[in-house]
Amino acid sequence: MKDNRSNHWPAPAKLNLFLHINGRRADGYHELQTLFQFIDHCDYLDFAVNDTGTLTLHSSMNDVVAHSDNLILKAAKSLQEVTQTTLGAEIWLDKRLPMGGGIGGGSSDAATTLVALNHLWQTGLSSQKLADIGLSLGADVPVFINGLAAFAEGVGEHLQAVDVAEPWYLVITPNVHVSTALIFQDPALPRDTPKLNLADLMSNPWRNDCQQLVSNLYPQVAKALAWLIEYAPSRMTGTGACVFGVFDTRQQAEDAFAKMPVDLSGFIAKGTNKSPLVLRLAQY
């Protein structure tokens, strides 16, 4: 099977450089404004196309996430249904991004599955159509499909490409799984940050409206932030648990990483305004 695999499709992590919660809609979803940037730290997926229509996933996560809940299989099935293709695929996931970390691992895996299988099955859908399918799987999936750093509004579906600095990040991954749904349901979550235009948002100090609540609920997140902020401007991404410090050079990030307490874990990554997935697709 290996000789007909299409290998090493990246599913990159993202960071929310800022995240503002503007209010809650009647349907329960939250209006937000956020800035997404990719980093070059990724899950990787391999695919082998078959003509039987069957979908099989090989993953160390199979014991953690039920197949019926797995976004990779949901994405592949959705693409089959929309395009009516008779093709299937065997999929291998090399899972490197933490779950429940706020860096988009599941959404990114789904996006890479849609982009890769659209190419490998030759189903010919546009990026916009793939993003429409992706939105039904999760609010963050379209940004991974579009593959460009973006300012997002609404529930995250209105995207505007932006060009921002591409620094080095030290990302700390506290060993806790933060439920996005529970954070957005918490009465203590701020929901009244005024909407601003993009120019004002870019020029004002960046913050994450979920950060204080998550820090209060998860001491591991508070501890990671308290340590990291001694070395660099630092914030939480998404609804947590991951926190990141911003460095001008890799060496500065390495120097801080070397001093990290033994009970913390993390990685160093480069910010990038163009997703590694887009760069992979461009090889064809």
- Hunting for tokens 């990030």 — which residue is that? 253
Q: What is the pLDDT of residues 147-180, one digit of tens each?
A: 999 999 987 778 999 999 999 999 999 999 999 8
* Residue 140 among the catalytic residues: yes
**DSSP state letters, 40-106:** EEEEEEEEEEESS--EEEE-GGGGTS-GGG-HHHHHHHHHHHHHT---EEEEEEE--SPTTSSS-HH
Taking 90 as the threshold, does the pLDDT of residue 219 lie above it?
A: yes
Distance CA 92, CA 73 (A): 11
Would you state the pLDDT for residue 134? 96
What is the per-residue pLDDT for 38? 98
High-pLDDT (> 90) share of the chain, %:
86
| Rounded Cα distance, 122 and 261, in Å | 48
Is residue 53 a known part of a binding site? no
How crowded is the C-beta side of 228, counted as CA atoms within 13 Å?
30
SS3 call for 146:
helix
Average pLDDT over all residues of the chain: 94
Does residue 202 carry a pLDDT above 70?
yes
| pLDDT for 113 beyond 60 | yes
Quick one: pLDDT at residue 67? 61
Is 205 part of any known ligand binding site? no
Q: Which of 3, 14, 40, 255 is catalytic?
A: 14
Domains of the chain, each with CATH number or no CATH: 6-162 (3.30.230.10), 168-272 (3.30.70.890)
pLDDT of 1 reads 39
Q: Residue 134, annotated ligand binder?
A: no
Summarize the confidence of residues 103-116 as an average pLDDT: 96
Q: What is the pLDDT of residue 24?
A: 92
Is the pTM higher than 0.75? The answer reads yes
Residue 2: band (very low, low, confident or very high) from pLDDT cuts 50, 70, 90: very low
Q: Please give the helix or strand (H or E) that residue 278 lies within, else none.
A: helix 276-281
pLDDT tens digits along 23-33: 999 888 899 99
- Residue 106 is labelled as binding a ligand: yes
| pLDDT, greater one: 66 or 141 | 141
Which pairing describes strands 88-94 and 55-58: parallel, antiparallel, or unpaired? parallel
Annotated binding-site residue? 107: yes
Residue 3 has pLDDT above 60, yes or no: no
Q: Give the lowest-confidence range in 94-108, 113-127, 213-227, 248-262.
A: 94-108
With contact defined as beta carbons under 8 Å apart, do 142 and 115 qualify?
Answer: no
| Catalytically annotated residue among 43, 46, 109, 140 | 140
Both tokens of residue 178? 């933060």
Residue 2 appears among annotated catalytic residues: no
Question: Does residue 260 have a pLDDT over 70?
Answer: yes
The length of the chain is 284
Q: pLDDT over 70 for what percent of the chain?
A: 96
